[in-house]
Structure 1
Amino acid sequence: MQRRRFLQMSGSLLTASAMAYGAGAQTKPASDAAAFHAQRRYATLACGRIAYIERGKAEVALFLHGAPLNSFQWRGAIDLLSPYRRCLAPDFMGLGYTQVTESQALTADAQSAMLLALLDHLGIDKVDIIASDSGGAVAQLFLIAHPDRVRSMLLSNCDVEPDSPPSDVQPVIAMARAGTLADTTEKWLSDTALARATFGAAVYHEPARLTAETIDYYVRPLVSSALRRAQYHAFHLALEPNPLAGIEAALKRSTVPVKIVWGASDTIFSMDDAKYLDRIFPASRGIRSVPQGKLFFQEEFPEVIAEEALRLWQSVS
């Protein structure tokens, strides 16, 4: 009965979202920054005080964000998917509202270990992962380290072993190394036009969606103290050396179903990266291309993420 209800309800969402996407519409997330902020919880773990959002019931969907974003990236998808899954979206260490000590490692491996500790703390056995950008690298590492904890995985524009970190991220890493990245990012708080013309134009189809409210939610915690600024730099410095070096053989042995949803207009992670993932995962469910999508298309087209997630979950239920 529960499975029948899931199929009926998700079928309605699939139809509605397909119509919206086909008409070129974009779903405006129901959750604004204030509402999202009010939902934030914290888990005190050995690695620090981990900020996360949790909404819904049933099996768990784990959302992993990119940089310099936080869990707010997934607000639209969570709005759409929380009727069908217990949606869990943590902030990575060094980003968002998570708080860790100066000595805490911020590497992708350390982030994967944090996720395991968080799931154990919350009593969660298995998850359906939805990830993008650097969160996709962590997702792949988590999968090979803990394959029994992953039910399915949806990857959108993200690091892959042959392209991590991508060349377009090197200037950002250079600013982190020089200690200027936080200063550059902080300017967005007082100059929305600058944020849209630089960061926004690079990662959104419509940079205007990068509102002052959204900028504040992403940037404010990163520059809130000397420690947080240093950790913002350290997060980016930890992107080198390649955190995915040598994992291809393990990914080729994975039996976890994987769906790839890729923004085809992204200049940072190309469609070749999507094709690579489709080729190496034995249980790949193929690629869905989002023609107008750039790196963070998940915010602009959350209905596409929801549609493909539900299709993937149906296939493994």
Structure 2
Amino acid sequence: MKNVGTAPPLTHEAFRQRQKTAEVDGLSYKPLRVAWTDLGQGKPVILLHGIPTWSFLYNEVIPTLAHSFRVIAPDFLGHGYSDRRDFFDRSLLAQTAMIIRLMDHLGIERADFVGHDTGGGVSLIMAIHHPERVRRLVLTNVVAYDSWPIDDMIALGNPNWRSKTPKEVADFLASGLPDGLFNRDRLTQEFEAGIVAPYSDEEGKISIIRNASALNTNHTTMLVERHGEIRAPTLCLWGVHDPWQTIQDGERLAREIPNACLVRVENASHWIPHDTPDRFAEEVRNFLTNDLNPLQREPSL
């Protein structure tokens, strides 16, 4: 990868200020606000985060990739600073519909997709149900099969959590972040504060509870028999120390998806875009700019 330099990461406040927003219709009975980052020029690459994060997870990856691509990093409905009101669906299917609406709003017919966690579930749905919109696919420590939701998210989805204060919910979210990082020096105060910031008021508290309650493993198990239909060249980019979405799922996806390869990233865990941002950006850029069939590429170990 060409050394393009590394800009200091933005604070979460600055990251939010850089976001664009629009009211998008067709997703509920009235328009919903969608927030996203749009940086760089060239071939569009859409970065999809998971739960309980938001697009801030890609804070250090976005400017690096933006040297080569037009990087679109949206917040899912109910996550980050997209709409957090309490009257719409937040399931993987609903998030997929939002991504299609956002692409139409931005005039993007086709894009490369990078999906992490539940964003990977959405990416799988896109590649199977809307293959004409997906050029290449990067699946990185994604939800798949029946390995999710994890216990913390099941607990959080209990409506009884409404009685807790926003601080109690934010502290609970923060307490789970270390388990998804191999490099503990990456557990900075700013990363922790940034991830939980959208959920640290009453509206955000209710929204993250609703997000957790919307997690439905049927939305990935229904895809398993169709993984072989994916025609987009696919990279399974996996932090091997993930305690939740294990390397075995990455290996299985790489076997089941035609035209796929697996890159195992040592010394990285679940929050791989933050855990090892330089390696993550390098692998994504190399894959998206490589003209060879992915199966012809020597896998990184």
Q: TM-score range by the shorter chain?
A: 0.7 to 0.9
AA in 1 matched with 2:267: Q
Aligned to 2:156: 175
Question: Residue 200 of structure 1 aligns to which amino acid in structure 2?
Answer: L
Q: In 2, distance between residues paired with 1:244 and 1:218?
A: 25
In structure 1, what is the Cα distance between the partners aligned to 2:146 and 2:217?
Answer: 12
Question: Amino acid of the residue matched to residue 180 of structure 1?
Answer: W
Q: Note the 1:115-194 alignment, pairs <5 A.
A: 115-165=99-149, 169-180=150-161, 183=164, 186-187=167-168
Given residue 290 of structure 1, which amino acid in structure 2 is its aligned partner? V
Structure 1 residue corresponding to 2:62, chosen from 78, 102, 106 = 78
What TM-score do you get using the length of structure 2 for normalisation?
A: 0.87
Correspondence 1:231 to 2:207: yes
Cα 1:151/1:232, change in 2 over 3 Å:
same
1:31 aligns with 2:10: yes
Cα separation, partners in 2 of 1:55 and 1:240, compared to 1, 3 Å: same
- Which SS does the other structure have where 1:105 is aligned? coil
CA distance in 2, matches of 1:288, 1:161: 19
Gaps of 5+ in 1: 1-10, 18-26
- How far the C-alpha of 1:233 sits from its partner, in A, is 1.1
Contact 2:41 2:70 (8 Å CA) reproduced: yes
2:13 is aligned with 1:40: no
Contact kept? 2:128, 2:229, Cα under 8 Å:
no
- 1:269 corresponds to which of 245, 267, 271: 245
TM-score (norm 1): 0.83
1:292 to 247, 267, 280: 267
Q: 1:287 deviation in Å?
A: 1.3
* Cα drift, residue 184 of structure 1: 7.8
Confirm or deny that 1:211 pairs with 2:195. Answer: no
Please state how far the C-alpha of 1:231 moved relative to its aligned partner: 2.2
The amino acid of 1:37's aligned partner reads R
Bigger mean CA offset, 154-163 vs 32-41: 32-41
CA distance in 1, matches of 2:153, 2:231: 35
Matched-pair contact (CA < 8 Å) for 2:177–2:192? no
Q: Supply the distance in 1 between the matched residues of 2:13 and 2:19 (Cα, whole angstroms).
A: 10
Measured in 2, the distance between the counterparts of 1:131 and 1:12 equals 24
**Aligned partner (choices 269, 283, 293) of residue 308 of structure 1:** 283
Q: CA deviation at 1:175?
A: 3.1
In 2, the alpha carbon distance for the partners of 1:242 and 1:164 equals 10
What amino acid is the match of 2:157?
A
- For 2:166 and 2:239, locate their aligned partners in 1 and report how far apart those are by CA, in whole Å: 24
* d(CA) in 1 for partners of 2:114, 2:196: 23
Post-superposition Cα deviations, 1:53-97, rounded to whole Å, max 9, x if no partner, equal 110011111000121111111111112110110000000111111
Counterpart Cα distance in 1 of 2:12 and 2:136: 29
Give the letter for the 1:310 counterpart. R
In structure 2, relative to structure 1, the CA distance for the partners of 1:201 and 1:133 (3 Å cut) is same
What is the identity percentage for the equivalent residue pairs of Structure 1 and Structure 2?
26
Root-mean-square deviation (CA, aligned residues, Å) is 2.5
3-state SS in 1 of match to 2:219: coil
Q: Is the 8 A contact 2:162 2:206 kept in 1?
A: no
Q: Which residue of 1 aligns with 2:299?
A: none
Pick the structure with more helix per residue. 1
For 1:233-248, what aligned pairs fall within 5 Å after superposition?
Answer: 233-248=209-224
Question: Over residues 134-166 of structure 1, what are the superposed CA-to-partner deviations in whole Å (9 max), with x where a residue is unaligned?
Answer: 11111111211210111101111111124233x
More moved, 214-223 vs 65-74 = 214-223
Q: 2: CA distance between counterparts of 1:267 and 1:30?
A: 27
Change (3 A) 1:109 1:294: same
| Cα pair 2:183 2:267 within 8 Å, conserved | no
**Residue equivalent to 1:24:** none
Q: Would you say the 8 A contact 2:273–2:280 is kept in 1?
A: yes
The residue that corresponds to 1:60 in the other structure is 44
Q: Counterpart in 2 of 1:199?
A: 176
CA-CA distance at 1:181 after TM superposition: 7.9
Deviation at 1:108, TM superposition (A): 0.4
Q: Which moved more, 1:301-310 or 1:78-87?
A: 301-310
